[in-house]
Amino acid sequence: MPAQWSSDTNPPRPAPVLLHRGFVGASGALLMTAFGTDTCYYTTALWQWSNFSAWLITLGLIVLLLAVLLLLIDFATGRARRLNLLSFALVTAVGVLSLINAFIHSRDAWTSVVPQGIFLSAISTILLIIAGARGWSLAMSRAPTNRP
Amino acid sequence: MTRTPRSIAVLMAFAVLTGCGAQGGDPARQYGSDPFLPEPHQYLLPPMSVPESIGWHAGETPTASAGLKVEALATGLQHPRFLHTLPNGDILVVESNSPGTQAFRPKDFIAGKVKARAGAAGTGGNRITLLREAGAGQPALRTVFIDHLHSPYGVVLVGDTLYVANTDALLAFKYLPGMTQITSAGVKLTDLPAGPIDHHWTKSLAASADGSKLYVGVGSNSNITENGMAVEEGRAAIYEVDRLTGDKRIFASGTRNPTGVAFEPQTHQLFAVVNERDEIGPDLVPDYLTSIRQGGFYGWPYSYWGNHVDVRVHPQRPDLVARAIKPDYGLSSHVAPLSLLFSEGEHLSPTFANGAFISEHGSWDRSPLNGYQVIFVPFVNGQPIGRPVTVVSGFLGKDNAAVHGRPVGLALDASGAMLVADDVGNTVWRVSAAPAGS
Q: What is the per-residue pLDDT across A5-35, written as a single tens digit (0 to 9) for each?
A: 555 566 777 778 899 999 999 999 999 999 9
Chains A & B: contacts with CB separation below 8 Å: 76
**What is the domain count for chain B?**
1
Q: What is the pLDDT of residue A142?
A: 76
Task: Please state, in angstroms and rounded to a whole number, the distance separating the CA atoms of residues B67 and B431.
Answer: 10
Establish if B10 belongs to a structural domain.
Answer: no
ipTM over 0.90: no
Q: What is the pLDDT of residue B18?
A: 45
Establish if B299 belongs to a structural domain.
Answer: yes
B226 vs A95, A100, A109: nearest CB: A109
**What is the span of the domain harbouring residue B293?**
48-433
Asked if residues B41 and B410 have their Cβ atoms less than 8 Å apart, the reply is: no
Q: What is the pLDDT of residue A6?
A: 52
A110 vs B16, B222, B314: nearest CB: B314
Interchain contact, A111 vs B223, CB within 8 Å:
no
B313 vs A46, A85, A110: nearest CB: A110
Checking if the pLDDT of A43 tops 50, the result is yes
Quote the percentage of chain A above a pLDDT of 90: 83
Interchain contact, B44 vs A100, CB within 8 Å:
yes
Interchain contact, B312 vs A103, CB within 8 Å:
no
Establish if B33 belongs to a structural domain.
Answer: no
pLDDT band at residue A146 under the 50/70/90 scheme:
low
Phi, psi for residue B404 in degrees, rounded to 5: -80, -45
Residue B63: other Cβ atoms inside 10 A: 12
Q: What's the CA dihedral at B176, B180, B184, B188 to 10 degrees?
A: 70
| B141 beta partners | B132
Q: Which of residues 254-283 of B touch A (CB under 8 A)?
A: 279
Establish if B143 belongs to a structural domain.
Answer: yes
Q: What is the pLDDT of residue B196?
A: 85
Task: Please state, in angstroms and rounded to a whole number, the distance separating the CA atoms of residues A78 and A93.
Answer: 25
Q: What CATH code is carried by the domain that includes residue B375? A: 2.120.10.30
Q: What is the pLDDT of residue B14?
A: 47
Interchain contact, B10 vs A45, CB within 8 Å:
no
Establish if B183 belongs to a structural domain.
Answer: yes
Q: What is the CA radius of gyration of chain A?
A: 19
Write the single-letter amino acid at B249.
Answer: R
Phi, psi for residue A133 in degrees, rounded to 5: -65, -25
Task: Please state, in angstroms and rounded to a whole number, the distance separating the CA atoms of residues B376 and B288.
Answer: 13
The nearest alpha carbon in chain A to B222 belongs to A108
Interchain contact, B314 vs A100, CB within 8 Å:
no
Establish if B210 belongs to a structural domain.
Answer: yes
Local mean pLDDT, 10-residue blocks, chain B (438 residues)? 44 46 88 97 84 91 95 95 96 94 84 75 90 81 96 97 98 96 95 93 97 98 95 97 97 98 97 97 96 98 98 97 98 98 92 96 92 97 96 92 95 95 96 80
Establish if B118 belongs to a structural domain.
Answer: yes
Q: What is the pLDDT of residue A107?
A: 94
Task: Please state, in angstroms and rounded to a whole number, the distance separating the CA atoms of residues A130 and B312.
Answer: 33
Write the single-letter amino acid at B156.
Answer: V
Establish if B27 belongs to a structural domain.
Answer: no
